[in-house]
């Protein structure tokens, strides 16, 4: 009779990369709040500020999604190497 160990995927701990991205998002929002208070800004100031904040946060979201995709690929490669 052949015995094989069954592994159950479990979280591998705290996701430091996610924490870093969330910290960066909060930082962008806080800096945007401070920058919003500028007295007598030109007409393009607030739309540009909003666009800059939004693209920065969107970029962080894309990088985090790429991180999750890479983690899935690594897990799949490990599973495939065990199956051989």
Helix axes 45-83, 16-36, angle to 10 degrees: 180
| pLDDT tens by residue, 46-75 | 999 999 999 999 999 999 999 999 999 999
Q: What is the mean pLDDT of residues 16-44?
A: 93
Calpha distance 25→19 (Å, rounded): 10
Computed over every residue of the chain, the mean pLDDT equals 88
Calpha distance 57→21 (Å, rounded): 9
Domain locations in the chain as residue ranges: 50-84
């Amino acid at each position: 009779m052949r015995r094989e160990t069954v592994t159950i995927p479990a979280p591998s701990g705290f996701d430091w990369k996610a924490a870093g991205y969330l910290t960066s998002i909060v930082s962008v929002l806080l800096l945007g709040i401070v920058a919003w208070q500028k007295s007598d800004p030109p007409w393009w100031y607030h739309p540009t500020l909003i666009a800059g904040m939004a693209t920065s946060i969107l970029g962080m979201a894309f990088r985090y999604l790429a991180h999750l995709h890479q983690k899935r690929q690594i897990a799949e490669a490990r599973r495939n190497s065990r199956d051989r």
